[in-house]
Amino acid sequence: MLVPLRLFIKNNPIGTLDDYTYVINFINNFMFKLEHLFELDINLKEFDELNLFNYIHSLGEDLYRYRLKLGDSFDDYYIYIYMYNDKTYLTWKIVDAPFFTYHKNQINRVFSCEINIHEIQGVVKELKYLIGMNK
């Protein structure tokens, strides 16, 4: 099932409704990452959001550990998910040359926040139920 899909994390959108995402791939990719989180081996207190993004983005062959790919609706975004001190964090930024148009407050800006993994898993579980994956 293809649907336009956008997430809101702490009232900040991720994704576009101008493209479509395979919901099953979205769910499976998100759940896989939530079940296989990697610890970020730095002191987060020493980084602002931009420097943190640049640090993760420059990890080279280790980048796959943190990169979250959710589907076509999210292709204009770099999205990273990681653990730090037993908490889960999400950091994201729109790519430098996005295909779609976004609000000017989102361009060239890095967003980062702690997320509640159990809330995310609950939302994904509800989504699975709504599309019939639990039947």
pLDDT at 135 over 60: no
pLDDT at 43 over 90: no
The verdict on residue 45 lying in a domain is yes
The verdict on residue 40 lying in a domain is yes
The verdict on residue 135 lying in a domain is no
Domain count for the chain, please give it: 1
Per-residue model confidence (pLDDT) at position 116: 85
CA distance 31 to 33: 5
Give the SS3 label for residue 9.
strand
CA distance 52 to 55: 5
The verdict on residue 26 lying in a domain is yes
- Hey, what are 79's tokens? 């999205």
Give the SS3 label for residue 54.
helix
CA distance 59 to 1: 34
pTM over 0.75? The answer is yes
The verdict on residue 116 lying in a domain is yes
Angle between helix 23-35 and helix 117-130 axes, rounded to 10 deg: 150
The verdict on residue 117 lying in a domain is yes
Pairing of the two strands 7-9 and 12-14: antiparallel
pLDDT band at 67 (very low <50, low <70, confident <90, very high): very high
Structure letter (DSSP) for residue 133: T
Mean pLDDT of 76-95: 94
What is the extent of the structural domain holding 126? 2-130
